[in-house]
Structure formats: C-alpha cells, structure tokens
Structure 1
Amino acid sequence: MLNRIAQHQLPLSAGLNWFEALTDEEQRAAMSELHLYVHQSHPTPGMVLAAIDAAPVRRGATPLALLRAFPFHVALPKIIILRADERRNAFAALLTLFRIADTHRRHTCCQHGCSHDWHHLPPLP
C-alpha cells in the first residue's frame, strides 16, 4: 500500500482511508513501517518543507510543527510516538514526505534501473 501511494499508483486518500480503518495496534505497526520507509528514502530539508506544504492536514498540526521545529532525524521519532488522536495527522504528514522523497529517489538514483523490489511493482489491475 505505502509504496503504491509513493509511486502514484494509488491516491494519498486511499492510504488515509486504509489507515483509519486499522485497529490501534495495526495503526502503530503501520506507523513503524512508514517510519522505516521514510527514513530510507533520505528526505532532504527541502523535501521536508515541500511535505509540510503539501500534507493534507491543518497547518498547525503537531506533526507539521515538529517537522518545522526540528531537523528531520530528530522530528521523526517524536512524530512516530504521538498520541492516538494525532496519529492520522502523523501518518498523513509522513506518507506525504515519503511520496515526495521516494519520487525524487526513483527519478534520480534509480532512473536507469535499480534492484529495489518496491520500485518494480506490477501495475494495479
């Protein structure tokens, strides 16, 4: 699901709907998985700013405030452990950032081919 959204095979809204339907435990697991994905996508400060502008959450949401206030490597673990009532905003912000960073990576580092299985997903039917 997360890689398909990052590759624009599914809309961001599909990921948010999927996330909201998960149990509390499943949401925590999804946040942990997204934490790994976004970390491995190596977002730059410019990508973080772009995600802050593009994330479908209110501008004052805690995850966005953390991304503004701290370097990414400091903000990320703080965002992952936010309360349950902030989790949707956290997921939306990080999924937006992952989409931006992974798109950049696919168009630069991986544009001439790569061995990342997740960059070679079959198209959806």
Structure 2
Amino acid sequence: MSGFSSDEGRTVRREAERVVNEVAQGLRTLDDGTACFSALPPVGREAVLHEVAGYPMQAHITAADGREGVARSGVKPRANPSVMIYTDPPRYGFASLPADEHVKAFRVHVSMSSVADTRRRAAHCKGTCGHSWHNLPTSPGEMPYRLVRRPG
C-alpha cells in the first residue's frame, strides 16, 4: 500500500467499512458513499476495494443479490465489475481492475453487499443481533464519518 502509512491505511479501511454499512442501512446514499470513495487517491481506493472484498462472502450473497445489486448500482450490466458478479461463483477481485474501473467496482460492490446484508439482517439478526456494524447510530451527530485523504 505505497503512499499510506500503516495507520493511515488502517483508518481508511475502518472508515470504508463504516460507509459501506451506512449505505446498506440507508443512513447514507450510494452517491454520497461513492463521492467519499472517489475523493481518495488511487492507492486509497485500492485499499478500500481490498478491504471490502470479503463482505459479500460474510453476507452469504446469492445470485439474486448480485443481480439486484448490479441493477441498483447504476453500472451497466456489461461493465467489468458487473460481469464479475454475474460469474458463478462471483469474483470479488475488484482491486485488481484498472484504476478507471474502481468507482464502478465500488458502486457494484456496495450495492450488492447492501442487498445481501439487508436480507441477512431481516432473516438472521432481527432483534437479536450483536454485530456492531448492524447497530450503527442513526443520529447525524453520531456519524462523523469521512474517508481520510493523504495530504499532498
């Protein structure tokens, strides 16, 4: 992760986790999350895509989740990130895509993860969930989230 210290990289990854969950829970729009992601330098965007790569597996995505996520993302179905989700099994190596595909990859990934996570929260975590990422504060004053940009 050239260009970020380990502390900066850890901060970006932790904050990326929060924004993905905020989008999934309707506390932030996909466009707002994408704007935060887009504001990062290329090395930051790549770090975020590496970080979120495991989220679909944690949410146990289905083929239907992938299709609905692509539809919600605003990314064309034939774009590389969309095609990667449509494969069986889906491929999540979005960070290995060219830098000009990273924003599309983020939109597809977050949208697909949102669909799967919403389904999982409703089916498996309803009223009994102890996952901190499923219990985010809903007050705007409690969400000082921003992705960190390296100066310069």
CA contact (8 A) 2:63 2:86 kept: no
Q: TM-score, normalised by structure 1?
A: 0.90
- Name 1:106's counterpart in structure 2: 121
Q: How many residues align?
A: 122
Find the aligned partners of 1:82 and 1:56 in 2 and give their Cα distance.
18
Matches within 5 A, 1:1-40: 1-40=19-58
1:76 aligns with 2:87: no
Q: 1:120 pairs with 114, 127, 135, which one?
A: 135
Asked whether the 8 Å contact 2:24–2:113 carries over to 1, the reply is: yes
User: Quick check: which has more Rg, 1 or 2?
Assistant: 2
Alignment of 1:41-80 (within 5 A): 41-72=59-90, 75-77=91-93, 79-80=94-95
> Contact (CA 8 Å) 2:60, 2:116: kept in 1 or not?
yes
Name which of structure 1's ranges 6-15 and 28-37 shifts more when overlaid on structure 2. Answer: 28-37
1:71 Cα offset (Å): 1.6
Structure 2: runs of 5 or more not aligned = 1-18, 141-152
Runs of 4+ in 1 over 6 A off after TM superposition: none
Q: 2-side partners of 1:66 and 1:122: how far apart?
A: 33
Give the match for residue 100 of structure 2: 85
